[in-house]
């Protein structure tokens, strides 16, 4: 039937991994220079990606100051 979606059940681990990847791409889209194509040169674009990845990893580290 046209227009009908088939629901596919995926294992929780596979869904979790896919969700993490999709969230990572979504976080990169929020960087304005990457989203608008303002960073024209490859070195500038790579530097922005490196900075975004570094900040994401730093945010993922739990704060253990207490």
Query: What are 14-58's pLDDT values in tens digits?
Result: 888 888 888 888 887 777 767 677 777 888 888 888 888 888 888
Measured CA to CA in angstroms, residue 50 lies from 7, 25, 55, 64 at distances of 37, 13, 9, 25
**Binning pLDDT at 50, 70 and 90, where does residue 59 land?**
confident
Distance between first and last Cα of the chain: 58
More confident residue, 55 or 3: 55
In a domain, 22, yes or no: yes
In a domain, 20, yes or no: yes
In a domain, 37, yes or no: yes
Check whether 1 has a pLDDT greater than 60: no
Predicted TM-score (pTM) of this structure: 0.53
In a domain, 19, yes or no: yes
In a domain, 7, yes or no: no
**Binning pLDDT at 50, 70 and 90, where does residue 66 land?**
low
């Amino acid at each position: 039937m046209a227009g009908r979606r088939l629901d596919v059940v995926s294992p929780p681990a596979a869904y979790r991994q896919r969700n993490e990847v999709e969230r990572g791409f979504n976080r990169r889209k929020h960087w304005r220079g990457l989203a608008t194509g303002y960073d024209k040169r490859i070195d500038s674009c790579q530097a922005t990606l490196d900075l975004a990845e570094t900040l994401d990893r730093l945010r993922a580290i739990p704060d253990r100051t207490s």
